[in-house]
Structure formats: C-alpha cells, structure tokens
Amino acid sequence: MTFASARLQENQALIEQQQYQQHSQLQIARTSRFKFEPDQVMQLLRQKIAGQDAALNEIEKMLRVVKADFNPPDRPLAVTLMLGPTGVGKTETVRLVSEAVYGRADAFCRIDMNTLAQEHYAAALTGAPPGYVGSKEGNTLFDAEAIQGSFSKPGIVLFDEIEKASTEVIRALLNVIETGKLKLTAGTKSLDFCNCMIFMTSNVGAKQSQQRLNQLLKLPKFMRSLAHQFNFDEHALTDKALQNKFDPEFINRLDRILHFNRVETDFIPGLIQIELDKLNQRLHKQGRQLYLTESAIHALAQGYDIRYGARGVGRKIRTLLEPELANHLLLYPAASHIEVQYRDNGFYLKPRDSQS
C-alpha cells in the first residue's frame, strides 16, 4: 500500500467518524457505526461453506450482535472457537468473513499456533522480555492494523490450530479474551482487541472422533440418530477432548464453541462447484472459463474420503484435472470456453460454444 493510499484511508475513516459525531445523541445511540451487512456476509458464507448450517447460524447471530453495536467496551466484540476435523471450512469461514467485510480474503491477522508449540514462544506474542534482544522494540507477531480495524469496520484475528500452542501461549491469551488488551513486555505499548472479532480453530479430538465415526457408520441409520441423541456421537468426544486439553479458565472465556461437521457425500457436488468457482476466478484473468459435464463431476466425486473433506476435493482437481487443462491451454492458446468430459478413464477437454 502506497503512502498516499494509506493517508486516503486514514482520512476517510476520520471523515466517517466526524460525520457520525455530528448526529444527535439519540441518533448516535441508535445507529450502528459498522458498515458491513450481516445478510451479505452470510449470503457469501452459505454459498461457499457446505454442510455447516448449525455453525453458520451461530455465526450469523454473532455478526448481528456486533452490527447492533451494544458490545461491552472493555472486551473483544466476539470470541468464537470452531471445532472440527480438517477440510470442513473453519479457516475458510474466517477468510470469507474478511472478504465480505473488507473486500479482501486476507484482511485479517492470522496466527498459526503450531509455530508457537514451545513455552518460550510466548514472547512472539508479547515481545521479548526486558534484557533480551529486541525487548525495546516491542516486536510481536500481531498485525496491529488488522486487529484494531477502523471506526466503521471491526478487526479480525484468527488463532489457527490453537490446540498446538504451548500452555504459556494460551495463558498469554487469557487477558486478551477477558479485557481486550495485550500489554507488550517492553511496557511501552499495548495492543487493543476491543474492536476485534476473535476466531480460533482447533482439530482437538479429531482422531478420536474419526474412530467413533467409523464405529457408528457400521450401525443402521436410526441407531446413529440415537447415538447423537444420547451424546455418544463424535461431538461428545470432541467436547471431552476440549475439556482435557484446555483449562476451565480458558474455555469459560469463550463466547461460542461451534462444531463443524464432517462433510457428507451428499455435499460433494456442492464442494466440486465451489472448487470450480475458485479455478474459474483464476482463469477469468486470462479471459477463460471452464465447464464440467455430469460425467466429469461424477468422476471427481468417486472415491471421496470423508476424512479430508473439501481439501481432498481440491487436491483431486489440482492433481487430475488441472494438468489436463494446462496441456489443453498450451496446445490451444486461443481457447476461452472449455468443456470437460470424462470418458475412457480420463478427462477430455474440448471447446465449448459460449452461447450454450
């Protein structure tokens, strides 16, 4: 971002704040300062995240509370923990919220907690303690601008795979969740999370859940429903693993704990369409578009492994379909509308009439 564009953004935020303050006191009290629309955010989420209706409904509730703008001034706007196995859309949910609010899928502060597995890595969050190299600078992994957001847009932070962080790192976050502040060890400055939505993801209990799922799949469908009713399903195992992993002090500070389900085979066509849309977004820069026939969709759906979810579908497209697409584009550089069929144990690409 250039200096000029940064100054323009700062001036725009200042103008919005001044305009807001010019309203009557009653109007101020009744008007949300946040410019994002929960309905638009949720429309994007429901288009791009498959099979997670319950979790998305809770996120919609959270967004509406944030939008209503009566949040406590001394804590984060929301603290949400998303549980579930790999490839079910936890991290993608945060990216889509960022895209809907800011117009960019990367406009949030992401901390990969698997890089903070050792106790001494807590300094990466709070800065080096006094006497150590870098202590005076107060350097930290956090992106202060992404955390604080602006007057009209909330900041967004993602702590990804939080179960992999050390106990000391988790304890460093307790004060952030409770008070919305993180004082750096240099003592000269602190980070303010009070205008921020905090998301966390975790795979805790995923291995045990998979083992329980394998057992449940052997039972008739009505018995699986009974298992869910009496808390014998994988959600119960995940909750138990969560309690074993984290202290009650940490769990008790979370606003919402959401379960993301494994993506069942019923949602495979939707997953394929989502991955196709991503591919077409990249091809759009070249003025091209790809179309899948029913035979191609059926071939991509074969051998779907519930353990890997959407990532497994994306990997299949990258390794089986994209090489054939690359060969076609190198042979026919002028190709713009391309249809994919599956026949004779392979993908077949041919030009498609743009009007069809």
Using the predicted structure, report yes or no on whether residue 35 has a pLDDT greater than 60.
Answer: yes
The fraction of the chain above a pLDDT of 90, given in percent, is 50
Q: Could you give the CA distance from residue 62 to residue 260 in angstroms, rounded to a whole number? A: 16
Q: Could you give the CA distance from residue 258 to residue 84 in angstroms, rounded to a whole number? A: 8
Q: Could you give the CA distance from residue 52 to residue 274 in angstroms, rounded to a whole number? A: 14
For the beta carbon of residue 304, count every other beta carbon within 10 angstroms: 19
pLDDT, position 153: 95
pLDDT, position 130: 46
Q: How confident is the model at residue 226 (pLDDT cuts 50, 70, 90)?
A: low
Using the predicted structure, report yes or no on whether residue 220 has a pLDDT greater than 90.
Answer: no
Burial class (CB in 10 A: 0-12, 13-18, 19+), 283: middle
Tell me which of 132 and 70 has the higher pLDDT: 70
126 and 172 Cβ atoms separated by less than 8 Å:
yes
Stretch 242-266: mean pLDDT, rounded?
91
Q: What is the mean pLDDT of the chain?
A: 84
Summarised one tens digit per residue, pLDDT across range 125-142 is: 655 554 444 444 445 678
Summarised one tens digit per residue, pLDDT across range 7-21 is: 777 788 888 777 776
Stretch 65-79: mean pLDDT, rounded?
93
pLDDT, position 137: 47
> What is the pTM (predicted TM-score) of this model?
0.80
Q: Could you give the CA distance from residue 183 to residue 172 in angstroms, rounded to a whole number? A: 10
